[in-house]
C-alpha cells in the first residue's frame, strides 16, 4: 500500500488546492458536486483507517460547500482533526488562504 505520510501530504495539497480554486460563490450544482466529490474521496482514499476517520468526520461535520472560504475552513478543520490525532500542531485556519491560495514557502 502507498506510504501513509507521502500519500497524506500529497492528498492534503490536492484537497487544499481544490478549495483554493473552488468558486467564491458556487451555484447549487457546484455545491452538490463538491459534496459528492468529498464523499467519494472518502470512499476511495487508499489508506483505509484514514478514510474511515475522514468519513466519520464528515458524518459529524457536514462539508461547508456554500463558499470558497467556508470550504477552505472546513477542510482546515478536517486537517486539524488529523493533526490532533497525530500529535501535530494545530494550523491557524485564518491562514488557510494565505497558505494555499496565495502560497508561501515552508
Ligand atoms: P501534512 O499534515 O500532510 O500537511 C501538509 C502541509 O499542510 C503542512 O506542512 C502545512 O503547511 C499545511 N497544513 C497543516 N495543517 C493544516 C490545516 N489544518 N489546514 C491547512 N493546511 C494545513 N495519517 C495517519 O497517520 N493517520 C490517519 O488517520 C490519517 N488520516 C488522514 C486522512 C486524510 C483525509 C488525509 C488526506 C491524510 C491523513 N493522514 C493520516 C496523513 C496525515 O494527515 C499527514 O498528511 C502525514 O502525516 C504527513 O504529514 P506532514 O507533516 O507532511 O504534513
Of the candidates 18, 42, 41, 15, which has an alpha carbon nearest to the alpha carbon of residue 30? 18
Q: ipTM of this complex > 0.95?
A: yes
Average confidence (pLDDT) over 2-31: 96
For residues 26 and 31, give the distance between their C-alpha atoms in angstroms, rounded to a whole number.
Answer: 6
Please name the residue that has the C-alpha cell 464523499: 39
Q: Is 72 exposed, middle or buried (0-12, 13-18, 19+ CB in 10 A)?
A: buried
Q: Among 17, 52, 79, name the best residue to mutate to test ligand 1's pocket (greatest count of ligand atoms within 8 A of Cβ).
A: 79
Name residues contacting ligand 1 (CB within 6 A).
4-5, 8-9, 11-12, 16, 45, 49-50, 53-54, 76, 79-80, 82-83, 86, 88, 91, 96, 99, 106
Q: Is the pLDDT of residue 105 over 80?
A: no
Which cell numbers hold the place of 15? 484537497
Average confidence (pLDDT) over 19-42: 98
Check residue 102 and give its pLDDT. 81
For residue 46, what is the DSSP state?
S
Domains of the chain: 10-25+33-95 (1.20.120.310)
Amino acid at each position: 500500500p502507498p506510504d501513509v505520510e507521502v500519500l497524506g501530504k500529497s492528498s492534503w495539497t490536492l484537497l487544499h488546492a481544490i478549495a483554493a480554486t473552488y468558486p467564491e460563490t458556487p451555484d447549487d450544482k457546484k455545491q452538490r458536486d463538491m459534496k459528492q466529490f468529498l464523499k467519494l474521496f472518502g470512499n476511495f482514499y487508499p489508506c483505509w483507517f484514514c478514510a474511515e476517520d475522514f468519513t466519520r468526520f464528515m458524518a459529524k461535520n457536514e462539508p461547508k460547500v456554500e463558499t470558497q472560504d467556508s470550504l477552505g475552513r472546513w477542510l482546515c478543520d478536517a486537517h486539524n482533526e488529523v493533526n490532533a490525532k497525530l500529535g501535530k500542531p494545530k494550523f491557524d485556519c485564518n491562514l488557510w488562504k494565505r497558505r494555499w491560495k496565495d502560497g508561501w514557502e515552508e
